[in-house]
Amino acid sequence: MNKIWLIIQREYITRVRKKSFLVISLLAPLLVALTTVGIAKFSSSSEADVVAVHDESGLNLAARLQDTDELHFVPAAPGPLATAQAAFTKAKPKQEALLHIPAGFTLDSMQGIQVLGKGNVALKRQLNIRKAVTKAVSELKMARSGIKQETIDDLQAKVELSAINLDEVGGKRNDAGTTTGIAYALSILVYMFIFIYGVQVMRGVSEEKSNRIMEVMISSVKPFQFMMGKILGIAGVVLTQFALWLVLSWGLTSVVAPLLLKDDKPVAATTTGTAVTSAAPTSAAQSGPAATPSPTASTSADALAEAPRPGRAFGVWSVLGELPIGSILGGFLFFFLGGYLLYSSLFAAIGSAVDDQTDAQQFMFPVTIPLILSYIASIMVIINGDPNGPLAFWLSMIPLTSPIAMVMRLPFGVPAWQLALSGTLLVLGFIGTTWVAARIYRVGILMYGKKVTYKELSKWMFYKG
Amino acid sequence: MPFGARPLRPGGGGGYFYFTTTYYSLFLMQKTTAAPILEVREVRKQYAAHTALDGVSLAVPEQSIFGLLGPNGAGKTSLIRIITQITGADSGKVLFRGEKLNASHIGQIGYLPEERGLYKKMKVGEQLLYLAQLRDLSRADATQRIKRWLDRLELKPWAEKNVEDLSKGMQQKVQFIATVLHEPKLIILDEPFSGFDPINANLIKDEILALRDQGATIIFSTHRMESVEELCDSIALINKSRKVLDGPVTAIKNQFKTNTYELEGKGRLMLTHPDFEVLEQKERENGHFFVRVQLHAGATPNDLLRFAMTQIEVQAFRERIPSINEIFIRRVGETMPGSLVENVNA
């Protein structure tokens, strides 16, 4: 036992001392802080898109179009379309789109409306404009059918919803946007950390084989002790990194924000979502050639679109306070550790079986596929679907996918029995993979020059000690 | 003598004298026929398609330098891996100081493998500390000894450098220190001299002798027969997964003696005698010569000397003792690269 502790210490200290560790530890939170603040600044300065309206229909739709949170309508330059277009391109402040209502547009044949923009008009913008125009046209139709303007105004329903989470004592108000953002952030952290640090375990084992220190080590400690010492030592590094990130992100944001944000403009609450996903590429740099695929860019943007915007106080952190952050963090740590132990033991086995990194690729494939798939599937099922539905349930139970799936479900609330079941299965899972990996490891570490196939690996499992 | 009567002894102190001499001679006997530090009994090791060790037994005397010899693929490495507890024997026993080999012995055994290496990006001092602690040495003791050894092997300025910053020879010296730092009772060296230049090889050789004098036992596996000649007290020869030879070096050499003698002198020697078979004859400058003669049964060295003295002026006369190299080749029947050059005394 004592020897495992020595190995854990050595693995931990040599990695934590490295410059790259310190740089990443500081860089990521800095990025988080800057991005959070940057987004805040941006959204406060450019609230709504400016849309110029060029109305040839004679219906005077321009007057009817109401500004919304996203859109601010202004009349286009008078004259034919060509003039309006020219003015639009040169307009200051910048106009995002030119709404052209043609002469042939009537309330009965509502055809021909165009939205002109520089480059492709964003889908979201198109949808918003369509909504606004539809609303204006409906009102005109109502007016035409005799309903008086006051009645029309009275009919406007601008309802505010607040969502209450019954599971929480007192029924805390929850914010779907932030919850989604947290779910994203945590699950991508799990994915990233398992991948990056699992590969580090593999590299470490591979290095010890190739620089030949392996034989001396194995005459001093049992192979199992050596393997676990390395895995646990690196687990310590990950936890330290995560803790540092958490603390520094909080600290840096609180410091940077007052400095850079002069006015009190409220800010979108899901900035953590983008901020952390943007941190993903920097950590991918640390993992070197085995680059982490991060298929998150477009999907996180959609999550942001859903988020309610102004009206919330600045400070993602204060919103976080309304979530059961303790149990979410606890769950995150448990499932992350379980997933890490499961996958890193497999990575250790790969490292022991091959003589150099290129051979490792063929074995990495079946190990990383469940990891990647679980991330993609979880996003589709949990965030865009039903966090408590059957598919989500199964994904969060199977040990290979549960680390990511369950962590993604946590912010939405998971019944205790499901957590317990999934947790137990995960523990059994990593005990199983560790056992298999240890049997492969103890043979592989002293095996050089042999062409390794899956068949060979399975033979190794049954070699005597 | 009537029962109960005791013979007279000179003075009461005589009793003690008798006691101590008996005890002392028992002690002397103990020293010369000491239990071996390592005993290998009928060890077998089988890999999937190949028998590495087929019932090998040997005993390594304590405080000796023991040579483990054999061609490639003979089974030496397999045996060493069993002794160092890297792998286990399929059957048979290994006893360390009379006890069945177990994990508690790791702190008393040191191992330098043939294919060796260290963590490249770890500092020398730190790495020695780590390796020593894994061999059950306390931090305090280790730190002290590391300083001493680095000093002794002229590596002091490199203590805080990464291993990769050292030259190969220096790295080898560091690895040697790592092997002996915890003052193991049994040190196993697999091709210890490979990678060392002649000066450092000599340094290591002196260290090995010093370690033996301080009480350690060294098992030394090698192809370099000159080092075996110089250092080993006893040897064992393994071939094709079996032991073919073992015992003290002098005894083995005597076993392989072929009753051959070498004569050097001035003049011309004509050895036409049925008792003498000339194996080799060389003429040297200034009318000197060299001859190697095998005596046939019944002839004695004095016969040869007497015969030679009638013809030439004898300057040197010695028995030709076979070298370990020759014994090895004869027993194994294969040629070993680089070791065919016979050391003919000029």
pLDDT in tens, B44-93: 999 878 899 999 999 999 999 999 998 888 889 999 999 999 999 999 99
What is the rounded (10 degree) CA torsion for A299, A300, A304, A306? 40
For residues B263 and B170, membership in a common domain is answered with: no
Please tell me the predicted confidence (pLDDT) of residue B27: 56
Q: Do B55 and B191 reside in the same domain of the chain?
A: yes
| Statement to judge: residues B138 and B282 lie in one domain | no
Give B101→chain A minimum CA distance, Å. 13
- The pair phi, psi for residue B54, each rounded to 5°, is -120, 75
Q: Are A210 and A356 contained in the same domain?
A: yes
Query: Rounded to a whole number, what is the distance in Å from the CA of B265 to chain A's nearest CA?
Result: 54
Q: Which domain holds residue B270?
A: 258-320
- Hey, is B182 helix, strand or coil? coil
Last residue of a domain, one of A94, A127, A159: A159
Q: Is the separation of the CB atoms in B321 and B229 below 8 Å?
A: no
A449-464 pLDDT, tens digit each: 777 888 888 888 877 6
pLDDT band at B108; cut points 50, 70, 90: very high
Query: What distances in angstroms separate CA B206 from CA B85, B152, B153, B200, B210, one per listed residue?
Result: 28, 12, 11, 10, 6
The DSSP symbol for B268 reads -
The residue assigned the tokens 């919850």 is A179
**Same domain as A263, residue A350:** yes
> Which three-class secondary structure state does DSSP give residue A332?
helix
CB-CB contact of A192 with A292 (8 Å):
yes
Would the pTM of this model clear 0.80, i.e. be above it? no
Number of domains in chain A: 2
- CA–CA separation, A284 vs A272, rounded Å? 19
A154 and A172 assigned to the same domain: no
B85 and B47 in a common domain: yes
Q: Are both A123 and A190 inside the same structural domain?
A: no
Q: What is the CATH number of the domain that holds A97?
A: 3.40.190.10
Query: B68 and B97, same structural domain?
Result: yes
Residues B238 and B270 in one domain: no
Separation of CA A86 from chain center: 41
What ranges make up the beta strands (E) of chain B?
38-47, 50-60, 65-69, 91-96, 99-100, 109-112, 186-190, 217-221, 234-239, 242-248, 260-266, 276-283, 288-295, 313-319
Mapped onto helix, strand or coil, the DSSP state of residue B217 is strand
A465 lies within 8 A of chain B by CB = yes
Q: Is A262 exposed, middle or buried (0-12, 13-18, 19+ CB in 10 A)?
A: exposed
Q: How far apart are CA B161 and CA A16, in angstroms?
A: 18
Is B299 found in the same domain as B185?
no
d(CA A280, CA A295): 10
Asked if A147 and A192 sit in the same domain, the reply is no
pLDDT at residue A455, rounded to an integer = 83
Nearest CB to A216 within list B85, B116, B122: B116
ipTM above 0.85, yes or no: no
pLDDT at position B36 over 60: yes
The count of structural domains within chain B is: 2
Asked if B86 lies within 8 A of A215 by C-beta distance, the reply is: yes
Tokens, residue A427: 């523990």
> What residues of chain B lie within 8 A of the CB of A10, using their CB?
130
What type of residue sits at position B196? Answer: F
Please tell me the distance from the alpha carbon of residue A404 to that of residue A193, in angstroms, as a whole number.
11
CA B324 to each of CA B170, B192, B340: distance values in angstroms, whole numbers, following the listed order: 30, 18, 11
Q: Pick the residue with more confidence: B339 or B160?
A: B160
Sorted by sequence, the CB contacts under 8 Å of residue A185 that are 6+ apart come out as A272, A273, A276, A277
Closest to A30 (Cα-Cα) out of A318, A276, A194: A276
Q: Could you tell me if A464 lies within 8 Å of chain B, comparing CB atoms?
A: yes
Q: What pLDDT does B60 receive?
A: 95
Within-domain flag for B194: yes
* B248 and B277 housed in the same domain: no
Whether A83 and A194 share a structural domain: no
Interface of B with A in 227-256 (CB under 8 A): none
Residue B336 lies in a domain: no
What per-residue confidence (pLDDT) applies to A62? 74
How far is A165 from chain B, CA to nearest CA, in Å? 53
Averaged pLDDT, B131-160: 94
Is-contact B192 B220, C-beta < 8 A?
A: yes
Q: Could you tell me if B133 lies within 8 Å of chain A, comparing CB atoms? A: yes
- What pLDDT is stored for residue A117 in this prediction? 85
Distance CA B147, CA A280 (A): 45
Cα of A430 to nearest chain B Cα, Å: 26
Contact B86 A213 (CB under 8 A): no
Given a cut of 50, the residues of chain A with pLDDT beneath it are 168-173, 263-315
Using the 3D structure, point to which of A136, A159, A182 is the last residue of a domain.
Answer: A159
**C-alpha to C-alpha distance for B256 and A165, rounded to whole angstroms:** 93
Same domain, A145 and A180: no
Instruction: Assess whether B157 and B286 both reside in one domain.
Output: no
Q: For chain A, positions 207-266, list CB contacts with chain B under 8 A.
A: 208, 211-213, 215-222
B249 has a pLDDT exceeding 80: yes
Closest chain A residue to B115, measured at CA: A212
Do residues A128 and A190 share a domain?
no
d(CA B218, CA B209): 9
**DSSP at B105:** G
- Residue B346: per-residue pLDDT: 32
Question: Are A268 and A382 members of one domain?
Answer: yes
Q: Are residues A349 and A263 part of one domain?
A: yes
Is there a single domain that holds both residue B53 and residue B159? yes
Domain end among A99, A132, A159: A159
Show the domain range for A256: 2-42+166-461
- Residue A160: name the closest of A359, A308, A364, A325 by CA: A308
d(Cα A234, Cα A232) in Å, to the nearest integer? 5
B85 contacts in chain A (CB < 8 Å): 219
Residue B227's CATH number: 3.40.50.300
Pair A254, A282 in one domain: yes
**Residues B51, B161: one domain?**
yes
Largest CA distance in chain A: 95
- Tell me the per-residue pLDDT of B205-223, one tens digit each, with 9 for 90 and over: 999 999 999 999 999 998 8
H or E element in which residue B75 lies:
none
Do B73 and B121 fall into the same domain?
yes
Cα atoms in the 13 Å half-sphere on the side-chain side of A398: 13
Q: Which residues in B lie closer than 8 A to residue A464 (C-beta atoms)?
A: 88, 90
Backbone angles phi, psi at A159, to 5 degrees: -100, 135
Does the distance separating the beta carbons of B115 and A459 come in below 8 Å?
no
pLDDT of residue A274: 39
Terminal C-alpha separation, chain A: 20
Query: Are A266 and A136 in a shared domain?
Result: no
Range 60-119 of B in CB contact (< 8 A) with A: 84-88, 90, 103, 106, 109, 111-113, 115-119
